[in-house]
Amino acid sequence: MIGHNIQLFRRKKGLTLTELAERANISKSNLSNIERNINQNPSIKVLEKLASVLDEQLISILGIQPSNQLNSIVDEDLAEFILKLKKQGITKVQLEEYKKVIEFIEWQHHGCKTIERKIDSH
pLDDT tens digit sequence for 6-62: 999 999 999 999 999 999 999 999 999 999 999 988 998 999 999 999 998 888 888
Q: Is residue 78 part of a domain?
A: no
Tell me which residue of 3, 95, 82 sits closest to 50, measured CA to CA: 3
pLDDT tens digit string along 73-99?
556 777 777 778 777 888 778 878 877
Question: Domain limits at 35?
Answer: 2-66
DSSP-assigned letter for residue 43: -
Q: CA 48: distance to chain centroid?
A: 12
Statement to judge: residues 9 and 47 lie in one domain: yes
* Cα distance between residue 13 and residue 17, in whole Å: 11
Residues 99 and 46 both lie in one domain: no
First to last CA, the chain: 55
Residue 10 to residue 115: CA distance in whole angstroms: 56
State the virtual CA torsion across 9, 5, 32, 19 in degrees, nearest 10: 10
Q: Examine the fold and report which residue of 49, 66, 83 is the final residue of a domain before the chain moves on.
A: 66
Structural domain includes residue 62: yes
pTM: 0.54
Beta carbons of 46 and 26 less than 8 angstroms apart: yes
